Structures are given as structure tokens and as C-alpha cells.
Amino acid sequence: MSKWTVVISGRQMVDELRSAPDSVLSFVEAASDSIQIIYTMGPEIHFDQYHVDVVKSSLTRSLVERFADVQDEIDSAFKELIPVTEGADVWVDDIGFLGRNKDYRDLNIEFTVDVIKAARTINRFPDFLKPLAGRLFTNVESQIQRAMRHLRPIIEDRLEKDGQYGKNWTGRPNDALSWLLNLAEGKQRTVRDLTMRILSLNFAAIHTTSMAFTQILFDLAANPSFVPDLRKEVEAVMVEEGFSKLSLHKMVKLDSFIKESQRIGGNGAVTMTRKVLKDFTFSDGTTVPKGNTIAVANYSMHHDKIIDAALFVLVASRVPNFARPPPGSPYKPSCASRRTKTTATVAKER
């Protein structure tokens, strides 16, 4: 209710948005406004985001080393939950040591859902009422306390050993907690602060991966003619390479399928959301004042008739020998894709 969201389209404007410096158009500030981080996760997470560097650096460098652990966690989740036909949640624990504790797993899933619900409610209020709405409609403190009951013994033990032996002691786990402690200083090295960081990292991982995975499953179900080729590729790579980070790079058909699933289905009507920190003028003369938000018409651009030849015809053109759909049976958008269409390309006042 306190600002406009300006929705743009066209390659020229998208390139200008993408190349604008963070000091002018900020993704971080846009995300903070969208989920109202100050009220849903706490001011510490909003004003001090050092945990973001953990994802950019430590997590990326550790993917190969932790790949077997991730595979083991996925195998366990599938065995436990895939047979269930209703209400199943498949979740992989980013921190690596509590993923199979049911209450801790439920906590992280509930925290993610609660944050989204609370943010939607708070965003209905003008800025001057948001502090009051944040106190009335969030339960962030109770969630933090619940998480601390699980994490306190682990965090305190890690802090004690780091204090005694430094950061390179034998047997120190290569997990999210250690990555955070490598960067944390002063008040950042408290049980509460570290717990909040872990909750926020899991929040960022859960809703994005679960939405993408669900969309891919919908697209597979809606387009079973592509399953044989994808299965054949995966099985061939697994026989040759086993299951590793390198083997995933060789699954080019699967990679193209996933990319196109996300292109056509995506996670919403708009993407590349940025908050305007300084008045911004596009090359066509359009000026968006400071304080508003700019986003790209994701769904509308990817479904423009000029560029939207059927989804998996594009997959076939990118990957040699990829079987095309039988004549008369073009790509069918999944139910998730069809739902998104109703909210595409809307410029609205919030």
C-alpha cells in the first residue's frame, strides 16, 4: 500500500535493469521488503547479512566434498516420503546434522510457511503500521526459541572447541555452522544469532528448491513422452560416472528439461525484482522514483507468441537426438503453469 511495483518487459529494459548497480537497484532490499525480514526473521538478519557470503563462498566450494552427504539425505527422504500420496514434504537439511530429527525438520518447514504468510499480511499495511502488524501477526520469537532448543548443544560445543583449538581442529565438521563461525565475530557468535542465521539459510533453500522440484514433476507428469529419453540419459551417465557432481554436468537433456520447465513455469508472474534506491531512468525516458519496485514480466515474456514455440521443441533443438513429442501432441503446461497465468504482467499499487 506504500509504493508502486513497475513491471517491465523487452530485452532492452531487462538488460538495463540487470546491469544497474546494487547501489541504485537492489535485489536484497526488494527481497527484504517482499518478506518483511525485519518483522518475520528479525532486524539482525536484515541489517547484517554476512550469512549471504557463506552461500556465495563456503557452500559453493564444498559442494563436491558434501555431495555424498546430500545424496544420502535425498535417498532417505525419498524412501520415507515418496510412497505417501497425500501431504508429503521432501526436505534436505542444509546444516547437515539434524535433517532426520522430525521436530527440527517440521520446524524449518513451518518457519518457511509462517514467514510467507506473515509477510503477505504485513505488506497489506502502510509503512507506518507495519511495526504494529509485525508484532501482532508474526511468531518469529517462538520459532527461534524452538530452534535454539535443538541447536544450542551443537553450537555451544562447536564454539567451545573453536575456542580451545582454533578453526582447524581435527574432525571439525564441514557444515553450515562451521562456515558461519569462520566469518562470525563478536555478537554474531552467540547461540541466538547463529540459530537465526541457520533458520534463514534453510528458509531460502526450502521454498525455492521445493517449488522448482514440484514444477518439474508436474511437467513430467503432463508430458510423459519425454520420460524415456531422460531416463535413458540418466541411466547411461550413472553407469559411466556414478552419481557425482561431474555426472550431473553430463546430463545435458535433463538440464535442458529443467531449464525449460523453469522458463515456462517459473516461480511467479514476475522476476528480477529490484528496489529503487535512487531515481532510475530507462533509455526510453521512463523514470521510476526512489522507493518503488521494478520487476520483469517473467511469465508474459516467456509466453509471448513470437518467442514461445512449444516448450520442449526448444529442448529438442538444444539437445541432439532428443525425441520430439509425437505429431499432434505439443507440450501441455502443467497445472502449476496454468495457475500462474492469471497473475501475469500486472503493475499495481501496494
pLDDT in tens, 117-158: 889 899 889 888 999 998 888 887 888 899 999 999 999 999
The better pLDDT of the pair 258, 94 is held by 258
Contacts of 341 (CB under 8 A, 6+ apart): 299, 303
The better pLDDT of the pair 309, 241 is held by 241
Q: Are 143 and 111 in contact (CB under 8 A)?
A: yes
Task: Provide the residue count of the chain.
Answer: 350
Cα separations (Å) of 161 from 85, 94, 132, 169, 189?
A: 44, 22, 41, 8, 13
The model's pLDDT over 227-271, given as tens digits with 9 standing for 90+, comes to 899 999 999 998 988 888 788 888 989 988 888 888 877 667 888
Q: Give the pTM.
A: 0.73
The model's pLDDT over 51-92, given as tens digits with 9 standing for 90+, comes to 887 777 777 777 777 777 777 877 777 777 766 555 544 444
Q: What is the pLDDT of residue 302?
A: 78
Q: Cell 501477526 maps to which residue?
A: 137
Rounded Cα distance, 30 and 34, in Å: 6
* 3-class secondary structure, 137: helix
Find the Cα–Cα–Cα–Cα dihedral 134, 139, 141, 144, rounded to 10°: -130
Nearest Cα to 103, choosing from 111, 95, 94? 111
